[in-house]
A and B are shown apart, each in its own frame.
Chain A
Amino acid sequence: MKKKRNFNLIAGGILAGGMLLFILAGVFFLPQDPETMNLELKFAGMSLSHPFGCDNFGRDIFSRVMVGARTTLIVALGTVGIGAGVGTLIGAFTGYFGGWLDEVMMRIIDALFAFPSILLALVVISLLDKGKYQVILALGIAFIPSFARVVRGQFLKCRELDYVKNARIMGCSSLRIIFVHILPNTLNVLVPTVMIGFNNAVLAEAGMSYLGLGVQPPDASLGRMLSEAQTHLFSQPLYAIFPGLAIILLVLGFSLLADGLEAK
C-alpha cells in the first residue's frame, strides 16, 4: 500500500508542477501573440509554428491556452484566497469562542452550505454584474462556508486539548492561542482542503466563464475558450480539446497531490 500512496504524491507533483511551469513559462515567453488575428490561418491544423492549431480568428491556440490557463489560475487562487482566508477566520473564532455568535454564524453557514456553490456564485454575480473580478469575489464568497466548517471542527477539537489549556494558564492571549498555537495544528487538514478547494475553484471558474458570466473577451480563459470552441466543433475539434485537456491536467494534478498528502 505504501508504494501506491507515494505514486499519488509523485504523479500529482509532476502533473501540477508541469502545469504550473507551463503557465509560468507563458508569463515570460509566448510562441505567438495570443490576440493577433490572421484569417488566412482560420482553423489551421497542427503545425510546428502552431502546435495546437488555430481558432476561428486564426489566433494561435497554444498561446491562448497558456494565457487562458494563467487567467484561470489567477481566478482560482483569488477565490481560494478569499474563501480560505475569511472561512478560516470565521471558523477559528466561532470554534474557539463558541457561544451565541457561534450558533448564529453556524446557522447562516449551514444555510449557505446547503446551496451548491455555483448557485451561490450566480446570486452574487447577478448582484454585482459579470466580469473577472466579480467572479473571484462571487466564488470566494461561495467557498467561505466549506472552509469555515472544516476549520471550526478542528478548533472545537483542539480547544480542550492540554497544550491549549497550558498556553491559557501561562497567560497567552486568545489571539495568540488561536493563531500561534492552534492554527498550525490544523494545517494537516487545512492544506488538503485548500487543494480540493482550488480544484473546485478551477472547475467553477471554467463553468462561469463558459456561461459567459466570468472572464470577458478578448481575455482568454479556459472556460471562455471552450464556449467559443463549441460553436466551431464541427470544423475544428482541436480547439475544444486542448483547453479542456489543460483543465483536466491541472485538476488531476492537484487532486492526486491532495490524495497523496492526506495519506501521508
Chain B
Amino acid sequence: MKYVGKKLLTMLLTLLLVSFLVFLCFTVIPGDPASARLGTEATPEAVEMLREEMGLNRPFFVRYGDWLLSFVRGDFGESYDYEMTVGELLADKIPITLTMSLMSMLLIIVLSIPLGLYTARHEGSWADRGIYALNQVIMAVPAFFAGILITLFFGILLKMFTPGGYVSYRRDFGGFLAYMFFPSLSIALPKIAMTVKLLRSGLISEKKQDYARTAYSRGNHTGGVLYKHVLKNAMLPILTFLGMTLTDMIAGSIVVEQVFSIPGIGRVLLTAISHRDYPVVMAVIVCLAGVVILVNGLVDLLYQWIDPRIRLEAQP
C-alpha cells in the first residue's frame, strides 16, 4: 500500500509540475489576449477594462491558482474562437480519439502476440527471417505515410472505404467503427512491428533460462512451455512498452486524424494552435499530459502487482 501511495503522490506532483510549466509558457509569450480579442482599433481604456475583467492584472501566482482550481472543477475556460466553453468543445471530440487509440491497442495485442510467439518458436526459420526483415521496414514507415498508403490501396484501389468519408458516431455507430478501422491500423502498424521484435527477443532469452529447461525436463512440449511459463515472464517488459505506446499513439493520432480527415482532438489542437486559441491549446495539452501520466502510473502499479519482486524492492 505504501508503494501505491507514494506512486500516486509522484503522479500528482508530476501533473502539477506539468500544469505549472504549461501555464508559465503560455503566460510569458508576447501578445496580450485582451488586445488580441478587441483587435487593433481598440482604445487603451477598453483594453484595460477587458484586462481587468479577464483578471489579467492580478499577480501571476494568483492567476495560476485560479486557473488550476477551475481546471480541477472541470471548467477549462472559454475558447477565444468558438462561442463555447472548452469543455463543451472537447467533450464531443474525446470519444473519437479514444476509440481510435483503443482500437489500435487492440490490433497491436491481437496481432503481435501470436506473431511474436510464432517467430520465437521457429527462430532462424525462413518465416522468422522474413518477418524480421518486414518488421525492420515497417518500423521505418511513419504512421501518416502508412495512412496514405492504406488510403491508396484499400480506399482508392480496392474501394473498401471512402477516403475522407468520416461518419459521425452519433449518427451511425457501426459505420463510425468501420471507418475508424483503417486509421487505427495505420497507427498500429509500426507499433506492431516493434512489439513483435521486442516480444521475440524477450521470449528467446527467457526460453534459455533454467526454469524453462526444468519445464521441458518435466515432460512439457514446446508449446506448453512457451505459453504457460515463458510468455508470462516475457510479457513484463512488453507491458511497459505498451504503456509507453499508448501515450505515443495518442500523440500519433494527431497526425493520422489529418490523413483520414477525422474531427478528433488532434484537429481541435491544430486549429487552436494556428488560430492562437490559447485556452483550448492549454486545456488539450494538460488533459493529454494527464492521460499520459495516468497511463504510465497505472502500468507501473500493474507491473508490481503482477511481479511481486518489484514490490519487495521498493520497500525500505
B and A form one assembly:
yes
CA distance A247 to B190 in the complex (A): 14
Are B136 and A255 neighbours in the complex by a CB distance under 8 Å? Answer: yes
CB of B148 within 8 A of CB of A206, answer no
Majority DSSP secondary structure for residues of A touching B: helix
Given known A114-B14, A114-B289, A126-B276, contact A211–B270 (CB-CB < 8 A): yes
Report B245-261 residues with CB < 8 Å from chain A CB.
247-248, 250-252, 254-255, 258-259
A207-B255, A255-B139 are known contacts; what are 19 more A-B pairs with Cβ within 8 Å? Answer: A107-B14, A108-B17, A111-B17, A116-B248, A116-B292, A118-B252, A118-B255, A119-B251, A123-B25, A126-B272, A210-B144, A230-B259, A244-B141, A244-B142, A244-B149, A248-B145, A249-B140, A251-B139, A252-B136
* Bound-state Cα–Cα, A206 to B190, Å: 15
Residues of B that sit less than 8 Å from A by CB: 13-14, 17-18, 21-22, 25-26, 29, 136-137, 139-142, 144-145, 148-149, 151-152, 156, 163, 247-248, 250-252, 254-255, 258-259, 269-270, 272-274, 276, 278, 281, 285, 288-289, 292-293, 296
In the assembled complex, how far is the CB of residue B267 from the closest CB belonging to chain A, in whole angstroms?
A: 10
Which residues of chain B have C-beta atoms less than 8 A from A234's C-beta? 156
**In contact, B141 and A248 (Cβ under 8 angstroms):** yes
Q: Is A115 an interface residue (CB 8 A)?
A: yes
Q: Is the interface of B mostly helix, strand, loop or mixed?
A: helix
Q: Are B254 and A118 in contact (CB under 8 A)?
A: yes
Scan A107-129; emit 1 where CB is below 8 A from any B CB, else 0: 11011001111110011011100
Bound Cα distance A256, B133 (Å)? 10
Q: Point out residues on A near B: beta carbons under 8 Å.
A: 107-108, 110-111, 114-119, 122-123, 125-127, 130, 199, 203, 206-207, 210-213, 226, 229-230, 233-234, 237, 240, 244, 247-249, 251-252, 255-256
A114 and B247 within 8 A (CB): yes
Cβ-closest chain A residue relative to B15: A111
| CB-based contact B136/A244 at 8 Å | no
Tell me the minimal C-beta distance from B56 to chain A in angstroms. Answer: 18
- With a cutoff of 8 Å between Cβ atoms, the chain B residues found around residue A256 in the complex are 136
**A252–B250 contact, CB under 8 A?**
no
